[in-house]
């Protein structure tokens, strides 16, 4: 049953990065669009994220509940040493959702719209950045329980050059997902050309920030190149992600946009596989040479069994209704 629980944890993280990432990316793309095209971009992004934006954080909640119930030591370590970026990330999620709702549904269009819009922009930008900082901290061995100062324990455990690089990469990846997901929401040639241009721009940022991640890892003494390229699985994952990128380029050129979302989601999964497979099932690498493992630091067998059954039964209700939600929005747009 432990592998069922780990499978659901992996699935929830992947879906949050893909769907939640596209959600955050909508605000990022709109923020960095020139004023002339911003209103049109806003409308396209609304159509793109409408089916899932209210359900996205369900996947984050599921991941947190799995860690809290099934892996309490891992949950405690993360919530203790990474409490600052975690709180900032949660504040960003709340601020972004609130601002999105008020600027979209407020009955009165006044100067408050300016405030709502900018809260939405900056929360969309900073929330995935902090998510990247948290992810980087778990594998960079920067969390050191033996440290003796507040800064070493609770600040430099996540605030470092590698974390910043991963944060920027996460922001770029979110913008890329949003751009790709929006392609099928365009209604004419001008809109499609606009979003294809945005997609190519964000692709470039993903490549640049990805290179920055490897550079910062090398300078920080983190064997990221070895983790990714030392075994066939990592090489295959990067190769598949690259092939998917080429297929997306081809689909955009031919204006056949049906597979682009699936290909972009597949790319993200391959990136996650390449970055994590080497030290799996060790989910946190500590600075004192120790690690926290999904197989070793686990709750009691009865707890894992109950959690596994709850997740399987819950998925029977959640997943069909999620697909129904997406299908309903798709029919409304036709």
Euclidean distance between CA atoms 268 and 40, whole angstroms: 27
Whether 2 shows a pLDDT value over 60: the answer reads: yes
- The stretch 169-178 carries a mean pLDDT of 94
Q: Are the C-beta atoms of residues 228 and 258 closer than 8 Å to each other?
A: no
Percent of the chain with pLDDT over 70: 95
Percent of the chain with pLDDT over 90: 49
pLDDT in tens, 315-327: 888 777 777 766 6
pLDDT in tens, 91-142: 999 998 888 888 877 767 777 888 888 999 999 999 999 999 999 999 998 9
In this prediction, residue 22 carries a pLDDT of: 87
pLDDT in tens, 221-238: 999 998 889 889 989 999
Euclidean distance between CA atoms 126 and 133, whole angstroms: 10
pLDDT in tens, 245-260: 999 988 888 887 778 8
Q: What is the DSSP string of 4-47?
A: HHHHHHHHHHHHIIIIIHHHHHHHHHHHTS-HHHHHHHHHHHHH
Euclidean distance between CA atoms 232 and 80, whole angstroms: 36
- The stretch 273-284 carries a mean pLDDT of 88
Average of per-residue pLDDT values in the chain:
87
Whether 53 shows a pLDDT value over 70: the answer reads: no
Q: Are the C-beta atoms of residues 307 and 5 closer than 8 Å to each other?
A: yes
- The stretch 276-298 carries a mean pLDDT of 89
First to last CA, the chain: 43
């Amino acid at each position: 049953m432990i592998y069922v629980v780990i499978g659901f944890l992996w699935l929830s993280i992947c879906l949050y990065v893909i769907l939640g990432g596209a959600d955050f990316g909508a605000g990022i793309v709109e923020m960095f669009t020139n004023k002339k095209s911003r209103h049109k971009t806003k409308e396209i992004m609304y159509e793109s994220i409408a089916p899932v934006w209210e359900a996205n954080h369900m996947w984050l909640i599921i991941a947190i509940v799995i860690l809290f119930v099934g892996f309490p030591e891992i949950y405690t370590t993360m919530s203790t040493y990474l409490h600052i970026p975690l709180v900032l990330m949660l504040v960003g999620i709340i601020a972004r959702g609130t601002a999105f709702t008020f600027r979209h549904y407020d009955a009165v269009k006044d100067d408050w719209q300016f405030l709502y819009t900018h809260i939405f922009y900056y929360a969309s930008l900073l929330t995935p950045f902090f998510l990247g900082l948290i992810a980087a901290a778990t594998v960079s061995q920067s969390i050191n329980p033996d440290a003796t100062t507040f800064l070493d324990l609770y600040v430099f455990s996540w605030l470092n050059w590698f974390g910043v690089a991963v944060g920027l990469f996460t922001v770029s990846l979110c913008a890329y997902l949003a751009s790709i997901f929006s392609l099928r929401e365009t209604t004419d040639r001008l809109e499609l050309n606009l979003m294809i241009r945005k997609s190519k721009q964000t692709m470039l940022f993903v490549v640049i920030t990805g290179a920055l991640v490897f550079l910062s890892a090398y300078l920080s003494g983190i064997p990221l190149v070895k983790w990714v390229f030392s075994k066939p699985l990592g090489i295959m994952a990067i190769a598949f992600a690259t092939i998917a990128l080429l297929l997306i380029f081809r689909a955009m050129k031919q204006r056949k946009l049906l597979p682009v979302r699936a290909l972009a989601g597949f790319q993200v999964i391959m990136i996650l596989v390449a970055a994590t497979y080497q030290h799996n099932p060790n989910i946190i690498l500590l600075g004192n040479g120790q690690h926290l493992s999904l197989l070793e630091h686990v709750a009691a067998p009865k707890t894992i069994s109950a959690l596994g059954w709850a997740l399987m039964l819950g998925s029977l209700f959640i997943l069909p209704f999620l697909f129904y939600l997406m299908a309903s929005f798709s029919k409304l747009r036709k």
